[in-house]
Homo-oligomer: A and B are copies of this chain.
Amino acid sequence: MTFSIDSLITQKGRLLATIHETAKWGAKGVWGTRETETGVCRLALSDLDKQVRDWFVKETKSLGCEVKIDQVGNIFAIFPGKNQGKPTGIGSHLDTQPNGGRYDGILGVLSGLEVLRTFKENNYVPNYPIALVNWTNEEGARFPKSMVASGVWAKQIPLQECLNLKSLDKVPVSFGAELKRIGYDGQTKASYLENPLAAHFEIHIEQGPILENEGKKIGVVTGVQAFEWNLVTVKGRSSHAGTTPMNTRSDAILTASRVIVMAVETALKHQGLATVGTLQLEPGSVNVIPNIVKFSLDVRHVEDEILATIMAEIKQKAEQIAQENVDSPHGKPLSIDFENITSSKAIKFNNTNIKTVKDAASQIFKQDEIREITSGAGHDSCFTSTRVPTSMIFIPSKNGISHSPEEYSSPEEVENGFQVLLRTIVLFDEMRALQKA
């Protein structure tokens, strides 16, 4: 008695129209001539965030959802099923970067909404409830801790730490105070135990160029790579650019430059990624050799062990580079120090979820249009995966661009992603019913 998904009538183009409609709450960053060709700036717990939340609550209630707000403002819109039980979750976020686009996070929440709308207008009742979740402050752009609210729900971050987070506004305010101000300080426990999900699916733009470059339509996300952030400090000696012979220098920017090139080459050798995103030097005068250079080093790999190998190799070679400066009786070595800022282990998503996404995608696309992929960026699914079966779906990002107003996926790609999500949710829901039977 398996339900035929193809009997569900979908409204082509409505999801994209909704994406553009909700972009009015924060439209910013014009990059083209059409009205829809802007990005979005909708910082977490801002007035604009309140407006899109109010709209989201109204829309989901009109579909018959019960709406629960938890202690960190996560919104769970629960679409009823035939049976009681933990809801199958679809989640992502409606907050954006300050110079964000129209798709990052938003695509995930609104694709889930489109699933519920499709169910509703087809009078389709799933076997179990479906929870559409808007996670708070995924970006960490206003309150500087990414994915903090899914982290609290998963009991990986203490509630109070989240509520006490200070914003990066000119006049800093706390997460808790802003939550209260916009009326989203809910009563539901922010806890996977007291407000549980049966699973978590998230559709997202890739934010990288792999699908586009390889001509793939759908990414079946199997996990998230491990990463480690270090603040690297090189200390040498400051002196005059004109009067200091080369063989007596301890030039911190020269050593830092050698270390940066080496770090990238080392990561490359192991099929990892290495990025220097920030760099400051002192004293910062054209004719003064810098004595201090500090730079960030972000290194990633899909395997924890290989990431550790890369980092060990980088540190050992960096020490060598700093020592090698001594090429004359008057040279002095520099010091180099790595301070770990943050580490994140590799995440492997749930095999059943991955298979469900793959089966759903296979209903529409040929095998060579589908690709397994590892997420390079963090998502709320990283935290949910620590507590419930989780996986993700990627659609292509034009030129791999994201966190930019120019972030773009074509109408066809947006539609493709929705169709895969719809089938994933139906397949997963049917599987739950079969397992129970």
Q: Which residues of A come within 8 Å of B, CB atoms?
A: 206-210, 213, 225, 227, 229, 238-246, 248, 251, 253-254, 256-258, 260-261, 264, 267-268, 273, 275-279, 281, 284-290, 296, 298, 300, 329-330, 341, 375-378, 400-404
Contact = CB atoms under 8 A, between A and B. Distances in A.
Contacts of A256: 257
B281 A245 contact: no
Contacts of A241: 273, 275, 277, 298, 300, 376
Copies in the complex: 2
Given A207-B240, A253-B260, A277 B273 contact: no
B277 A278 contact: no
A240 B209 contact: no
Contacts of A260: 253-254, 257
Given A206-B243, A241-B300, A298-B241, A279 B279 contact: yes
A341 B285 CA distance: 14
A341 B275 CA distance: 30
Given A244-B208, A248-B213, A261 B258 contact: yes
A279 B281 contact: yes
Contacts of A268: 246
Given A213-B330, A245-B209, A286-B278, A403 B240 contact: yes
25 contacts: A207-B240, A208-B242, A208-B245, A209-B248, A209-B330, A229-B286, A238-B404, A239-B400, A239-B401, A240-B377, A241-B298, A243-B400, A243-B402, A244-B376, A244-B400, A251-B264, A253-B279, A254-B260, A261-B261, A275-B287, A277-B284, A277-B290, A278-B285, A279-B279, A286-B298
Nearest to A296: B286
Contact of A253 (B208, B254, B276, B329): B276
A240, A285, A300 interface centre (most CB from chain B within 10 Å) = A240
A277 B287 contact: yes
B289 A277 contact: yes
Contact of A376 (B227, B242, B400): B242
A107 to B, nearest CB: 15
B403 A288 contact: yes
A71 B375 CA distance: 68
